[in-house]
């Protein structure tokens, strides 16, 4: 049975890799079409959408490479394994989104100051094709994005691009109907604003993991209180609670055993570990045992004294 489980897991990973390769291919092809269309039509919004679409392809490539690196087992150089490669990839992708958002906002302001004619029909047609590709990419990556901050960063690149395509279609239509050339840079500003809002709202969680912050879904005080409530525990101090990766939390602490219970120290430690896993899902727990008579003097509750 273990062999069968591993086999199915490998199939799932290979299927995910295949979906990412498909998404990368269609996005690179679309980028070429959009750049050409934007140059011919004179549409800044089209070129803006193409630039963002190219960033989609790059983000998917980064996500795919990180996904493969993350599968490597732990070794003497990386004792926690390579899972954080996906966190680093997410940071790169969100940072790229922020840079793109700022660049597009600057270009839109310049276009407001110096308007240029836009060919509306070509804009609408190519943006419609772009929207179709965006939807295909979203379908390829949506399921994977729910369990991976790495794939989610790439997926959000695509979501922003899809909304950008809708906005470009709207701009091209309004230019055709009313000759509102100002709508092109206005739509570009909206795209830039959304990209910045999305990236800034997501990047904090990624930075938190890389900074060894405590898991946001857990209340650190409750974690220590749960350990202290176990019979035989006199106190917990110098605790470190952090995320190894997106799905794995770790706890390291000094556990003080009450006077007279040292003979049960191993059982107390085992119970604390079991409680941490059952209540909070913390499977990586390292405890330094101390007798109450010889416990640290004036220790810090969190971090080192």
Q: Let me know if residue 301 belongs to a domain.
A: no
Token pair for residue 243?
Answer: 């995320």
**Among the listed residues 264, 49, 5, 296, the one whose alpha carbon sits nearest the alpha carbon of residue 162:** 49
The predicted structure's pLDDT at residue 305: 66
Q: Let me know if residue 119 belongs to a domain.
A: yes
Domain final residue pick, 163, 185, 210: 210
Which single residue is written with the structure tokens 């926690």? 80
Domain final residue pick, 187, 210, 233: 210
Residue numbers of the domain that contains 234: 220-294
Token pair for residue 246?
Answer: 């997106």
**Among the listed residues 286, 111, 269, the one whose alpha carbon sits nearest the alpha carbon of residue 192:** 111
Domains in the chain: how many in total?
2
The predicted structure's pLDDT at residue 4: 42
If asked whether residues 74 and 198 sit together in one domain, one would say yes
If asked whether residues 227 and 194 sit together in one domain, one would say no
If asked whether residues 233 and 197 sit together in one domain, one would say no
Residue 129 has pLDDT above 90, yes or no: no
If asked whether residues 177 and 104 sit together in one domain, one would say yes
CATH of the domain at 92: 1.20.1510.10
**DSSP class per residue in 104-160:** HHHHHHHHHHS-----HHHHHHHHHHHHHHHHHHHHHHHHHHTS-HHHHHHHHHHHH
State the chain's mean pLDDT as an integer.
84
If asked whether residues 107 and 195 sit together in one domain, one would say yes
If asked whether residues 189 and 99 sit together in one domain, one would say yes
If asked whether residues 227 and 129 sit together in one domain, one would say no
If asked whether residues 178 and 231 sit together in one domain, one would say no
For residue range 41-100, what is the model confidence (pLDDT) as tens digits? 777 766 766 776 787 788 889 988 998 999 899 999 998 889 899 999 999 989 988 988
Calpha distance 135→3 (Å, rounded): 36
């Amino acid at each position: 049975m273990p062999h069968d489980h591993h086999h199915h897991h490998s199939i799932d990973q290979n299927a995910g890799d295949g979906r990412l390769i498909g998404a990368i291919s269609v996005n690179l092809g679309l980028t070429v079409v959009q750049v050409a269309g934007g140059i011919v039509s004179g549409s800044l919004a089209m070129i803006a959408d193409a630039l963002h679409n190219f960033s989609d392809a790059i983000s998917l490539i980064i996500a795919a490479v990180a996904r493969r690196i993350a599968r490597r087992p732990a070794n003497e150089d990386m004792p926690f394994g390579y899972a954080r490669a996906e966190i680093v990839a997410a940071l790169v992708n969100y940072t790229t989104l922020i840079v793109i958002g700022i660049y597009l906002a600057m270009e839109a302001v310049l276009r407001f100051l110096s308007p240029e004619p836009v060919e509306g029909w070509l804009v609408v047609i190519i943006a419609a094709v772009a929207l179709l590709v965006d939807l295909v990419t979203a379908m390829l990556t949506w399921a994977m994005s729910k369990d991976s901050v790495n794939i989610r960063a790439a997926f959000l690149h695509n979501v922003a691009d899809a909304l950008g395509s809708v906005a470009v279609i709207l701009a091209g239509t309004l230019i055709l109907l009313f000759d509102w050339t100002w709508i092109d840079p206005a739509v570009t500003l909206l795209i830039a604003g959304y990209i910045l809002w999305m990236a800034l709202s997501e990047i904090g969680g990624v930075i938190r993991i890389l900074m060894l912050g405590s898991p946001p879904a857990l209340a650190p005080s409750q974690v220590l209180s749960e350990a202290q409530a176990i019979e035989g525990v006199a106190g917990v101090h110098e605790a470190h609670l952090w995320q190894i990766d997106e799905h794995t939390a770790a706890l390291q602490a000094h556990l003080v055993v009450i006077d007279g219970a040292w003979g049960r120290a191993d059982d107390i430690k085992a119970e604390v570990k079991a409680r941490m896993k059952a209540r909070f899902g913390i499977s990586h727990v390292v405890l330094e045992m101390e007798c109450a008579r010889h416990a640290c003097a004036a220790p810090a509750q969190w971090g080192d004294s």
